[in-house]
Amino acid sequence: MSMVKTIGISKSFGALSVLKNISLEVNQKEVICIIGPSGAGKSTYLRSLNHLETIDTA
């Protein structure tokens, strides 16, 4: 059973595309880590999950 599931999330700030068609599924009892370089969109993705950012397309 999925605890978190996103399909095709995209987010832009003006002409800058930050998230492009991001999908993720996290099941019960799974632990994940989101890693990447600065500016890769990690915080934007997590803020979108918490409805702190509006999602452009899903």
- How many domains does one find in the chain? 1
Q: What is the pLDDT of the chain when averaged over all its residues?
A: 95
50 pLDDT more than 80: yes
Position 58 scores a pLDDT of 73
pTM for the complete prediction? 0.86
Q: Is 13 part of a structural domain of the chain?
A: yes
Amino acid identity of 41?
G
Dist. CA 15–CA 27, nearest whole Å:
34
Q: Is residue 21 part of a domain?
A: yes
Domain that holds residue 18: 2-49
Please indicate, yes or no, if residue 58 is contained in any of the structural domains.
no
Q: Is the pLDDT of residue 43 over 90?
A: yes
Asked whether residue 55 is assigned to any structural domain, the reply reads no
pLDDT > 80? residue 54: yes
Question: Do residues 38 and 9 lie in contact, with contact meaning Cβ atoms separated by under 8 Å?
Answer: no
Q: Has residue 6 been placed in a domain?
A: yes
- Dihedral of the CA atoms 58, 42, 3, 10 (nearest 10)? 0
